[in-house]
Amino acid sequence: MDTASHGFWSALIWRADLWWLAVLFGVLPDIIAQTPKVVYNVWKNKSVKGLLSEDLPSWIKTYTYYAFHLTHSLVIATLITGITWMFFGVQLWMLAWHLHIGIDMWTHKKEQATPFLYPFSDFRFSGIHWSSKGFIGMNLLLLASAWIMLV
Ligand SMILES: [Zn+2]
């Protein structure tokens, strides 16, 4: 799913005092994994269409690969959340990270599919792509309906 929608869904679900932390944890997996790639492509004056091209220096490809796998793994998210909860108590807004991965598992395809079991398995679902017109329309309709009904 697109990063902005992750933020809106997180804000909608965690409408408590610390909703902004849920938004942060809802968007950080994509921000952490994609920012160097996007900044490099903007710096190189690539067109908007080419912003996510794979024509990148090897260090950015390596960083993006590992950052994507680490930030999109339910294993890693659960481990870090569990350790944090042991020291600081239950922080439900951290589950926005799990929500992000759970949505991405079904809204990415092929090589961009979500490696949710990393590092134990490379099994992935190949779902409907979030950028397909049907999905974008359905997502916006559901988001708008949910915000109107719940907020
Ligand atoms: Zn993502």
Ligand 1 centroid–CA 83 distance in Å is 22
Ligand 1 centroid–CA 26 distance in Å is 9
- Domain range holding 117? 3-150
- Burial grade of 123 (CB within 10 A; 0-12, 13-18, 19 or more): exposed
Q: How confident is the model at residue 50 (pLDDT cuts 50, 70, 90)?
A: low
Ligand 1 centroid–CA 104 distance in Å is 6
What are 25-49's pLDDT values in tens digits? 999 999 999 999 888 888 887 665 5
pLDDT above 60: residue 52: no
Q: Which residues contact 143 (CB under 8 A, 6 or more apart)?
A: 5, 8, 9, 12
pLDDT at 49: 56
pLDDT at 90: 94
What are 70-84's pLDDT values in tens digits? 999 999 999 999 999
User: Which comes out higher in pLDDT, residue 44 or 148?
Assistant: 148
Mean pLDDT across the chain:
90
Q: Helix 3-13 and helix 95-104: axis angle, to 10°?
A: 130
pLDDT at 111: 76
| Preceding omega of 29 cis (within 30 degrees of 0) | no
Rounded distance between C-alpha atoms, residue 74 and residue 121, angstroms: 11
Ligand 1 centroid–CA 34 distance in Å is 9
For residues 83-110, give the mean pLDDT.
94
Percent of the chain at pLDDT > 70 equals 93
Q: Are 14 and 22 in contact (CB under 8 A)?
A: yes
pLDDT above 80: residue 55: no
* Residue 82, both tokens: 């569990």
Structurally, how many domains does the chain consist of? 1
Q: In 3D, which of 113, 99, 88 has the Cα closest to residue 29? A: 99
pLDDT at 53: 60
Q: Are 90 and 14 in contact (CB under 8 A)?
A: no
pLDDT above 60: residue 110: yes
